[in-house]
Amino acid sequence: MNTMGPLEVEPLASELSRIQQRSVVVGVVALALCLAGALAFHSMTDFLRSYLLGFLFWLGIALGCLAVLMLQHLTGGQWGLVIRRILESGAGTLPLTYVLVLPLVLGLHQLYDWSRPGEMPGGPVNQVYLNARFFLARMAFYFVSWFLLAHFLTKWSREQDETADLALLNRFQSLSGGGLVLYGLTITFASVDWVMSLEPHWASTIYGMLFMTEQALAALAFVIAVLMLLCRRKPLSDFVGPSHFHDLGTLMFAFIMLWAYVTFSQFLIIWSGNLLDEIPWYLRRFAGGWLWVALAIVLFHFGLPFLLLLQRTLKRNMQMIATVAVFLLAVRLVNLSWMILPAPTRNQAVGRFSWMDLAAPIGIGGIWIALFIRQLKSRPLLPLHDPRLQTASVQHE
């Protein structure tokens, strides 16, 4: 079995280093252009909306990696062994997001109307829940919780590489069981805080579930794309085969189905129930050009991937499944835009699209990808002493 050492000794390391350097440059330039444009055109609110979009997109991939990592530890499936390092590297970017969130904290009063003194939304529950101090305290709790989960899973993984201690498998499983529950609770409240509260008079009880499924789906799509780039190099070439892509594609298909079910359930309950406080949320997203975006999401986030991933041969074709994965990541950004950008502002009844809505995700993504590559290069690409790896050698079909 070829386990090989950290990626720095691999020829691939130089290629990844070049990508890493270019990602940093692209990220810094794109964010600088966004900030300069916001200051020049006095559109700081638009900048913050765009920044929130980019931040949540990349944070969602990091948190999705953490959730899928815990799912793999809990189930013990071999499908997760070949992607564990990718998942750990994705979750390892979480400390960066704590720095990237600072512009949103500094622009809190411009981004969220309810945070301004004297402008709390009506209702005793909203007035208690939606205030700046409590909002920031909850945010700190979310970040600490996610950091601790990622820290211990990565720390124990390093110990497993060094000591081959089989008792660590029980630790992985025990932490992952409770960790998934904690993840679900924190994501539910975080989605309410960061996105739903843009329109504080609107509410949905399955909003958190919607974000959880989207994050897992985005993480799987990202992992498949990265695995495709790495699988032809050792040591992964000795282990990764069509069956692994088939399993990951099937799991991605399951989350697409779950996303469609949750999304349609939310729409059906609100629309058929004629809920007067909730229906305007959809009316804003069915107005003007946003209606075409909504139809595109239905077609390309569910319809087309559903038909493609039904085909077993496609899921076993590495290039094709990776293409579908990259396509889903792009549609995920469009869907998140549809959820965030139409929210009303002080000057507009329906939010608008701006060039920063593309530049900000590119800027944040450049920095995020650079850190992801740094994390990936620092470890062996496979868990060295996991006993399940002995039976996971590839069958070339």
Task: Assess whether pLDDT exceeds 60 at residue 154.
Answer: yes
pLDDT digits (tens, 9 = 90+) for 347-387: 665 677 888 999 999 999 999 999 999 999 888 888 877 77
Whether this prediction's pTM lies above 0.85 is answered by yes
**Contacts of 202-209 spanning 24+ positions with Cβ under 8 A:** 202/277, 202/278, 202/280, 202/281, 203/277, 203/278, 204/266, 204/270, 204/278, 206/262, 206/265, 206/266, 207/266, 208/184, 209/262
Q: How far apart are the first and last CA of the chain?
A: 19
Percent of the chain at pLDDT > 90 equals: 60
Residues sharing a CB contact under 8 Å with residue 345, sequence separation 6 or more, in sequence order: 45, 49, 351
pLDDT digits (tens, 9 = 90+) for 37-92: 888 877 888 899 999 999 999 999 999 999 999 999 998 877 888 899 999 999 99
Task: Assess whether pLDDT exceeds 60 at residue 9.
Answer: no
Radius of gyration of the chain (CA): 21
pLDDT digits (tens, 9 = 90+) for 293-322: 999 999 999 999 999 999 999 999 999 999
Contact (Cβ atoms closer than 8 angstroms) between residue 241 and residue 397: yes
Q: How many CB atoms lie within 10 A of CB 173?
A: 14
The per-residue pLDDT for 239 is 81
